[in-house]
Amino acid sequence: MSATQTAYERLAEFHDLFMTEPWERLRPHVRAAFADLDEHAVVVEIGAGTGMGTRVVAAESRARIVALEPALVMRSILTARVADDPDLAERVTVVAGAAPADLGLLPDRVDGFVCAHMLGHLAQDDRRDLFGWLGAHLSGDGVAVVTTQRPPDTADGGEAGGEIVESRRLGDYEYRAHHMLGDGPQEYSSRYEVWQGGTLIRSHRFAGDWRIVTAHDVAADLPSTLVLEPIDSSVALIRTSSR
């Protein structure tokens, strides 16, 4: 199990608390990409996590969904989310596996795919293997939604870094997330805190690999059969080059 998978096994408790807004921002792009697909089409979600994105894809499309997720605890939440919704239970297949090692478990033909909030976990060779497989299996009129990042801002001294803080209240507790970029290009850590009033109840820190992957990086990773259509600095579409 990779360090990133191990981290997700432990942070799964907190993951969904802060993912509603990112997926709501992505929803219009998912709708535009997949709304015209019929019930026989297949959309593959790479790194489906706990299924928050799976739920959005299902709401904005009639397609069947194959959700690939390597982390056991995240996949357990995904499976429970699918099982508790009759529509998802009919349309979503949960596959235990990671990209690119387990892409052979996916259908031979896909009509769309989603790589959201996960490309930074893959080294360049793995990204190229992933897109190479997808380029060979995406239907001629298929389309994909991927998320990208801006190049990191730098301080006056020229060093990348910074911290993002989020908070959310559930009942008597306030949950705070501190996301930190390290000094190295692949260093990333998060600290989750649970507060009751002014008292810190518990704190957990998680570290894993994360690379800034820009639209330029993704374009360079694509095989000749695929082309990138950036929408903004954080979202892009991928289509077949013959379209």
Give pLDDT tens digits for 18-68: 999 999 999 999 999 999 999 999 999 999 999 999 999 999 999 999 999
pLDDT band at 242 (very low <50, low <70, confident <90, very high): confident
pLDDT at 181 over 80: no
Q: One-letter amino acid identity for 33?
A: A
Q: In this structure, what token pair is assigned to residue 82?
A: 């699918």
- Could you report the per-residue pLDDT of 213-224, keeping only the tens digit for each? 999 999 999 999
Torsion of CA 170, 201, 21, 56, to 10 degrees: -70
Q: In this structure, what token pair is assigned to residue 173?
A: 């507790």
- Domains, the chain, ranges and CATH? 3-150+212-240 (3.40.50.150), 162-209 (2.20.25)
Residue 45 φ/ψ, nearest 5 degrees? -110, 115
pLDDT at 157 over 70: no
pLDDT band at 152 (very low <50, low <70, confident <90, very high): low
DSSP state of 160: B
Which residues make Cβ contacts (< 8 Å) with residue 110, sequence separation at least 6? Answer: 42, 43, 44, 66, 134, 137, 138, 139, 142
Which residues make Cβ contacts (< 8 Å) with residue 26, sequence separation at least 6? Answer: 53, 56, 116, 145, 147, 235
Global pTM reads 0.89
| CA–CA distance, 227 with 219 (Å, rounded to integer) | 7
Give the mean model confidence (pLDDT) for residues 67-94: 97
Which residues make Cβ contacts (< 8 Å) with residue 238, sequence separation at least 6? Answer: 131, 134, 143, 144, 146, 218, 222, 226, 227, 228, 229
Which residues make Cβ contacts (< 8 Å) with residue 139, sequence separation at least 6? Answer: 109, 110, 111, 240
Residue 63 φ/ψ, nearest 5 degrees? -70, 160
Please state which of the ranges 3-17, 26-40, 84-98, 114-128 shows the lowest mean pLDDT. Answer: 3-17
| CA–CA distance, 153 with 168 (Å, rounded to integer) | 26
Count CB neighbours of 243 within 10 A: 10
